[in-house]
Amino acid sequence: MVTRLVLFVLPCVLLFEKAYTATNRTFPSYFKFGVATASYQVEGAWNEDGKGENIWDHVCHTNSTFIDNKDNGDVACDSYHKYKEDVQMIKNLGVDYYRFSLSWSRILPRGLAGTPVNQLGINYYRNLTQELLDNGIEPMVTMFHWDLPEPLQDIGGWPNPELEDHFVYYARTVFEQLGDLVKFWMTFNEPKQTCQEGYGLGVMAPGIKSSGIADYKCAHTLIKAHAKTYHLYDDEFRAKQNGSIGIVADTTWYEPASGSDADKAAAERALQFKFGWFLNPIVNGNYPQVMIDRVDERSKKQGFAQSRLPKFTDEEIEYIKGTHDFVAVNTYTTNYAQDVEEPDSDELSYESDMKVELFLDDDWEESASSWLRVVPWGIRKLVNWVSKTYNNPEIFITENGVSDRGGIEDENRTSFYREYLSNILEAIEEDGVNVTRYTAWSLMDNFEWARGYAEKYGLYSVDFKSSNRTRTPKASADYYKQVITTRCLVNSC
């Protein structure tokens, strides 16, 4: 009886230990820690000092059913006025860098190429950047984190190929105006979300439902705009400004739902459709072959004269290939991936092109976001996959974090960071993956897009009821600070 009990209990204890004990190794000296936000989610001041309207202003003001509680980013965390306090909060964490984004409409209120620059908008970003530098914090800047100027949406938004040149004009403006201070550039944040949620499923601004058509066109424009911006930096700015530039792509880790070959292929297909969609062109020049083949074939069956997946010319492939100085990944969760039967040809969508069913495991710990479950081992598998698939690049984790419904004693978030960071450290030390940066999302609770202010991701809480938007550090902020100081995840290393 005792033996049977031991035989039963011991593996459970070991399993528990395996799943919940963080490594006591220390982070290598070159490894850097950061924290992130994005313009629309924190800045507020939506129409101040000459800023123009963007698609999130527009959606929040005109289509309130789109956003939970009719929330909007008009004031958000008021970082436009409180940036000095933000910088002190960032400094208090002890992080090496701050990842934030620029509001295109604050810099070019009309959005379009050739329209006037708003000097007050530039001043805001120069002041913020200088304040960071004066406090020993490296600025890491995203040029586009979803807040497209409304006048560019009025001409069709990202599915319109003309946006490539409008973006490059904006990029040139920011290199000219901020490039002396900024050494880390990211062109786009999570282009998959911009294209899939914004122009495919229509659940994010601008809310267009054209899955399998506009989402692919959107991605095509974005990728070309990214490549042209990379070359612009290389040709005209890199020599004097001496910075690095890349794109931030996001993906969930897709775990095969069974050991069958079909499910393993489905998981790989999901990774290629979600992450390879952007990374494969940028690293190798073109979309993943599985994506080209499937969309071409289904388009043909559906009677399209041309594939719904746009084609890059041979010159474009050469031009786009290798336009990255690092691979930046945002990742939060894991899904199971299961193969499904070939959908009928009258089903026209990105999902039927992909032909994978994705689902969550009920045993995985929940968060406040329906799509996010806590699965620490997923991040280790993901960085291994990125490393193997893209020839061992330098990898930055540019976002990772978890949501809850609020409160300062956020043990859930502390253990999330401990376990996810432990898996990253194991990937570095045991698997030889070249991850060099980790960025916590987010510095503070903020406007969580269509979910408004109810889902909270911050290391600092923000009192959205007070006009002062009072910030208070949570327990997780203390933990993150301790990790950065000691470079150790547990009590002692």
Residues that bind ligand NOJ (CB under 6 A): 38, 41, 189-190, 330, 399, 441, 448, 457
For the question of residue 351 being annotated catalytic, the response is: no
Minimum distance from residue 455 beta carbon to ligand NOJ (Å)? 7
Shortest approach of ligand NOJ to residue 29 CB, angstroms?
29
Smaller CB separation from ligand NOJ, 27 or 449: 449
* Beta strand residue intervals within 279-333, DSSP E: 327-330
Residue owning tokens 């041309």: 306
Phi-psi region of 82 (alpha: psi -120 to 50; beta: other; left: phi over 0): alpha
Q: Which of 216, 188, 218, 223 is nearest to 206 (CA)?
A: 218
The torsion defined by the Cα of 335, 338, 341 and 347, in degrees rounded to 10, comes to 0
Cβ neighbour number for residue 126 with a 10 Å cutoff: 16
My answer on whether omega of the bond before 206 falls inside 30° of 0, hence cis, is yes
Which member of 43, 399, 419, 426 is catalytic?
Answer: 399
Query: Closest distance between ligand NOJ and the C-beta of residue 160, in Å?
Result: 23
- Judged by beta carbon, residue 23 or residue 461, the one nearer ligand NOJ is 461
Beta carbon nearer to ligand NOJ, 190 or 325: 190
Name the active-site residue from 53, 131, 190, 268: 190
Contact 28, 428 (CB under 8 A): yes
**Which is closer to ligand NOJ, CB of 312 or CB of 438?**
438
Is 297 an annotated catalytic residue?
A: no
Residue 314: CB minimum distance to ligand NOJ, A: 33
Report which residue type is found at 477.
A
Residue 395 · residue 436 · CB < 8 Å? yes
Give me the residue label for tokens 């963007």: 54
- Secondary structure (DSSP) of 74-94: SSTT-HHHHHHHHHHHHHHHT
Buried b (16+ CB within 10 A) or exposed e, 221-249: bbbbbbbbbbebbeeebbeebebbbbbbb
Which one, 152 or 204, has the nearer CB to ligand NOJ? 204
CB 36 to ligand NOJ: min, Å:
8
Give the residue numbers annotated as catalytic, written as ranges.
190, 399
